[in-house]
Amino acid sequence: MGIEERLKLLEDEQSILDTLYAYGHGLDYGQEDAWIDCWTEDAVLDWPGRAFMRGHAELRAGFRAHSHAPAMYHKHVVMAPLISIAGDTATVRSMFARLDRYPDGPGIRAFGRNRDTLVRCADGRWRLKERLPEIEAVRAQAPLGGEPFPDSPAMRQALVTPAR
Amino acid sequence: MLGWTVFAGPLSGHDRIRAGFRAHTHAPDAWHKHLLAQPQISLHGDTARVHSMFFRLDPYVSTAGPEIYAFGRYIDTLLRCADGRWRFTGRVVEKEAARAEAPALAADRRTSPTAGSLTTGDQGADHGN
């Protein structure tokens, strides 16, 4: 691999990380446009137990239904991203944890894995085309100022049988 | 310039930052982990602005194990120095959540709580940064 190809790979990986990080910062701090800009126009977000979202309009509605600082402080942390790039498409597996405030102090609300597909867009930025999170553990207690995790049949099913 | 919630105002200059460092707990007197995640880096020539998330892990008596002492956000500015290394010109700590109980091993060394205006959250006591 030539130096230009190696540099391009590094730039692609950094751009992908920028998008993964903007997701958490955007959701936690209410940066709506920055968060929407993480997604392609036809992107899919399928949270177990929540409404299936496809496209910017549904994603924006989901974003507005979500809590943000300063009304509620939480952290969507993404770790250990495994990035596999093939041409203009990337597959990423990462771990996530969500931290919230509880009466005794900060606690882990949930952890799991993100299964992502990103694509290189015309402007050069990599955006999420699909995010299929697997929730592996949740805390039943509601965080301060928040709701407990939705106790839906889909959620229970998701917890019993994590998606592939 | 370093904004730490346990001090009333920002720490300016090496002398005050060094005093702040010495007032902080360290291993082996207290074991903790300052973790930083998801740095969003904006470069502007020889300066940079970085927003990142932090969380600090400490051991606790009540749970007989490690817990998250605090989490929040760092707002940093950095400068490319003459030797090529990037150094902080400022760090603001927005502490958004903190555990009220003092960490197990830091209890006898903690700085007296004098929460400053930089504290974003209103939960729990201030057992350091």
- DSSP string across A10-66: HHHHHHHHHHHHHHHHHHHHT-HHHHHTTEEEEEEE--TTS--EEHHHHHHHHHHHS
CATH of domain B2-98: 3.10.450.50
A33 pLDDT exceeds 90?
A: yes
B51 pLDDT exceeds 60?
A: yes
CB-CB neighbors (< 8 A) of B68 in chain A? 99, 105-108
Strands B47-60, B33-44: pairing is antiparallel
CB-CB neighbors (< 8 A) of B40 in chain A? 18, 21-22, 25
Answer whether A78's CB lies under 8 Å from A93's CB. Answer: no
Structure confidence at residue B113 (pLDDT)? 42
Provide the Cα torsion A135, A73, A35, B44; round to 10°.
-130
B112 pLDDT exceeds 90?
A: no
Out of A25, A79, A106, closest to residue B70 by CB: A106
Interface list for B 13-52 with A (CB within 8 A): 37-40, 51
| Nearest CA-CA distance, residue A97 and chain B, Å | 11
Structure confidence at residue B118 (pLDDT)? 35
Of the listed ranges A23-37, A94-108, B99-113, the one predicted with least confidence = B99-113
Q: Does A18 touch chain B (CB under 8 A)?
A: yes
Q: Does A63 touch chain B (CB under 8 A)?
A: no
Structure confidence at residue A161 (pLDDT)? 53
- CA B123, B125, B127, B129 torsion: positive or negative? positive
Q: Does A71 touch chain B (CB under 8 A)?
A: no
A36 pLDDT exceeds 60?
A: yes
**Hey, how many other C-beta atoms are within 10 angstroms of the C-beta on B114?**
10
Q: Does A107 touch chain B (CB under 8 A)?
A: yes
**Nearest in space to B72 (alpha carbons), one of A142, A22, A56, A100:** A100
Structure confidence at residue B123 (pLDDT)? 44
- Each domain of chain B, given as residue ranges in start order, spans 2-98
Question: In this prediction, does ipTM exceed 0.90?
Answer: no
CB-CB neighbors (< 8 A) of A37 in chain B? none
Please return the burial class of B73, using the count of CB atoms within 10 Å of its CB with bins 0-12, 13-18 and 19+. Answer: buried
Structure confidence at residue B120 (pLDDT)? 42
Q: Does A99 touch chain B (CB under 8 A)?
A: yes
**Nearest in space to B53 (alpha carbons), one of A94, A147, A136, A73:** A73
Structure confidence at residue A162 (pLDDT)? 53
**Stretch A46-75: mean pLDDT, rounded?**
93
A31 pLDDT exceeds 60?
A: yes
Predicted confidence band at A153 (pLDDT cuts at 50, 70, 90)? Answer: very low
- Domains of chain A, start order: 3-160 (3.10.450.50)
Give all strands of the β-sheet with A126-138 in edge-to-edge order: A53-54, A39-45, A126-138, A105-120, A89-102, A74-86
| Nearest CA-CA distance, residue B14 and chain A, Å | 31
Structure confidence at residue A52 (pLDDT)? 92
pLDDT tens track for A86-114 = 999 999 999 999 999 999 999 999 999 99
Structure confidence at residue B111 (pLDDT)? 45
Predicted confidence band at B24 (pLDDT cuts at 50, 70, 90)? Answer: very high
Query: What's the mean pLDDT when you consider all of chain A?
Result: 91
